[in-house]
Chain A
């Protein structure tokens, strides 16, 4: 074979756990696998070793991801992934902590952990996979289910308003906020790499498809139809700034929405330790 150059596509296979039985548990066409390969390519681009990265997850379809990836893994209780990740980062500030969470995991059960991790600005990269429904437990409505959308617990349409996770993260104090979709997998790779390189709380909302529950109950079609609808409805941030609110109705604004530099939690804590030890 005349391919001496290392293939970028082969890199993905190097980061999978060798003893895990593939294919994965996810449904055919689930966006979780696309996000997983984007994470692998981002980690490989930055050149981190497998031992340097810790992947923490809670409960849900998305949180099955650390089982397949050959990083240090912590599969924790429902919603508490960010709480455990804060402990890991605090004990070992040299490690790169990635939190994989779903919309129900982060916004409903772990809502408090989420806003307080944002507030502390601790150096964790959080990837929220937003499929707008609880996929693993049977399609119940989550805090990210849009108004009027159908789920097994909202059979006449959701009467509640939904959360905007990026707005919430920015208001709570996250210093790197981005939104992307599974169609924009290359942008997602760059955004995750940017979040990992950023010192502070990086929050990336990855809009994903759940064709098994959300797609079926809301007549959105199969995985291909849902992924193509992300392509049609996505608007880059620069273009969205020139559009009116009526034009942005139903659209997904993608891109790095907010980025700033603030003091990081572990650095600040180390400064306190140093000042007390030096002052005795």
Chain B
């Protein structure tokens, strides 16, 4: 495991590339697609519908502007694949 994915940076492959526009600044959440098992918990539990499943079932940051940093997604992520970017 390389250092960038240990630190929770999203290491996105072309199949699971995030829709997020990085010119808008850092995203509210980082998703580690190497650790994600596509269990759907974050997509289903998010109260603001921030995520959309991609074709593998892994979460894409579809509506990052809705994120209120409620911590539900990364607290319930069983594989530690989501890290928050703000306090």
Q: Determine whether A136 belongs to the interface, using a CB cutoff of 8 Å to chain B.
A: no
Interface centre among B34, B40, B80 (most CB of A within 10 A): B80
Contact A3 B1 (CB under 8 A): no
Q: Would you call B74 and A9 a contact (CB within 8 A)? A: yes
Q: Determine if B6 and A186 form an interchain contact, defined as CB atoms under 8 angstroms apart.
A: no
Contact B78 A29 (CB under 8 A): yes
The reply on A44 being an interface residue by CB < 8 A is no
**A22 touches B (CB below 8 Å):** yes
Query: Cα distance A30–B83 when bound, in Å?
Result: 19
Chain B minimum-CB-distance residue to A32: B78
- Are the C-beta atoms of B7 and A10 separated by less than 8 Å? yes
Is A18's beta carbon under 8 Å from chain B? yes
Partner of B8, one of A10, A24, A29, A186: A10
With A24-B79, A34-B78 as known contacts, state yes or no: A1 contacts B85, CB within 8 Å: yes
B41, B79, B85: the one contacting A227 at CB < 8 Å is: B41
Partner of B6, one of A13, A30, A34, A36: A13
Cβ-defined contact, B26 with A1, below 8 A: yes
Enumerate chain A interface residues (CB-CB to B < 8 A).
1-3, 5, 7-10, 12-13, 16, 18, 21-24, 26-34, 36-38, 182-183, 185-186, 222-224, 227-228
B: residues with CB less than 8 A from A are 1, 6-8, 25-26, 34-41, 44-45, 71, 74-87
